[in-house]
C-alpha cells in the first residue's frame, strides 16, 4: 500500500505510462498489419491490450455500470456496484465499449493505426487523472488513495504532458482525441456524484476504458477532416 500511495503522489506521469503502453500496442499493430487483414489486427490488438493491462479497469467499468443502471436508491446503487456478480448494465457497457474500440481500429487507415493507439492510451491515462482530481472519495480503498493524492496541479501537469504527446503523435487529430477523452472523464465525475455521492476505484477504471474508446472513436470519425501528421 505504501508503494501505491507513492505512485499516486506522482499520478501526473500516467500519460507517460500510457505512451509506453501505446508504443507496445502500435508496434504490435504494425507487425500484424504485414500479414493479417485489418479486422483481424483489430481483434488481436484488443487481446494484447487486455493481456498487458489486465482486466481490472474493464471490471471497474462493469461494476460502475451496474451501479449506475440500478433503478433504486443511492444505497442500492452502491450495493449493486459492490456486488461481485456482473449485471446486465455491466455487460452492455463493456460490450459496447469493446465494440467501439474494435470498430475504430477497423476503419482507420493502416498508416494511422499505430499512431492512434499511442494517442488513445495516453488519453485513457489522462482520463484517470481527471476523474481522480475532480471526484470525492466514497469509501476507503484504491479509489480513495488515488483521489486524495490527486490535485488540480496533477491534472494540469498531466494534461500538458498528454497534449504534447498526442499533438506530437497525431497533430490536430491527437488534440481532438485528448479533448474527447477529457469530456468523457468530466461526465463520469458528474455521473458518479449524482448516482453514488462520490467516487470509487470502479469509476477510476471506467474512466480509463471509456477514455480510450472515446479517443479512438473520435480519431476514427475525424481523421479525414483534421491534420494528423504534425511533421
Give Cα 18 to chain centroid, integer Å.
Answer: 10
Residue whose grid cell is 455521492 = 197
pLDDT at residue 103 in the model: 95
How does pLDDT run across 57-78, given as a tens digit for each residue? 999 999 999 999 988 888 888 8
**How far is the C-alpha of 80 from the C-alpha of 67, rounded, in Å?**
5
Beta carbons within 10 angstroms of residue 152's beta carbon:
9
Task: From residue 114, give the alpha-carbon distance in Å to each of 87, 170, 171, 192, 216.
Answer: 34, 10, 14, 33, 11
How does pLDDT run across 73-111, given as a tens digit for each residue? 888 888 888 887 888 899 999 999 999 999 999 999 988
pLDDT at residue 10 in the model: 83
First and final CA of the chain: distance in angstroms?
A: 43
Please, which pLDDT band fits residue 1 given cuts at 50, 70 and 90?
Answer: low
Helix (H) / strand (E) containing 156: helix 152-196
Task: From residue 85, give the alpha-carbon distance in Å to each of 67, 81, 225.
Answer: 12, 9, 43
C-beta separation of 143 from 200 below 8 A: yes
Please, which pLDDT band fits residue 229 given cuts at 50, 70 and 90?
Answer: low
Residue 227 has pLDDT above 80, yes or no: no
C-beta separation of 70 from 3 below 8 A: no
Q: For the chain, percent helix, then strand, then coil, each to nearest 5?
A: 80, 0, 20
Amino acid at each position: 500500500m505504501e508503494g501505491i500511495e507513492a505512485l499516486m503522489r506522482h499520478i501526473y506521469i500516467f500519460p507517460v505510462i500510457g505512451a509506453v503502453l501505446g508504443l507496445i500496442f502500435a508496434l504490435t499493430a504494425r507487425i500484424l498489419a504485414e500479414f493479417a487483414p485489418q479486422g483481424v489486427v483489430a481483434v488481436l490488438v484488443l487481446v494484447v491490450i487486455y493481456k498487458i493491462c489486465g482486466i481490472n479497469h474493464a471490471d471497474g467499468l462493469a461494476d460502475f455500470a451496474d451501479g449506475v443502471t440500478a433503478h433504486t436508491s443511492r444505497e442500492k446503487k452502491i450495493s449493486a456496484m459492490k456486488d461481485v456478480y456482473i449485471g446486465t448494465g455491466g455487460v452492455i457497457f463493456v460490450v459496447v465499449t469493446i465494440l467501439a474500440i474494435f470498430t475504430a481500429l477497423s476503419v482507420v487507415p493502416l498508416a494511422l493505426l499505430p499512431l492512434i493507439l499511442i494517442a488513445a492510451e495516453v488519453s485513457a491515462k489522462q482520463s484517470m487523472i481527471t476523474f481522480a482530481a475532480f471526484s470525492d472519495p466514497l469509501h476507503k480503498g484504491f479509489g480513495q488513495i488515488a483521489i486524495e493524492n490527486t490535485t488540480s496541479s496533477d491534472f494540469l501537469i498531466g494534461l500538458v504532458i498528454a497534449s504534447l504527446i498526442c499533438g506530437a503523435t497525431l497533430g490536430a487529430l491527437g488534440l481532438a482525441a485528448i479533448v474527447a477523452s477529457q469530456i468523457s472523464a468530466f461526465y463520469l465525475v458528474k455521473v458518479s456524484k449524482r448516482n453514488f455521492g462520490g467516487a470509487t476505484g470502479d469509476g477510476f477504471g471506467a474512466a480509463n476504458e471509456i477514455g480510450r474508446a472515446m479517443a479512438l472513436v473520435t480519431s476514427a470519425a475525424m481523421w479525414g477532416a483534421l491534420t494528423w501528421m504534425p511533421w
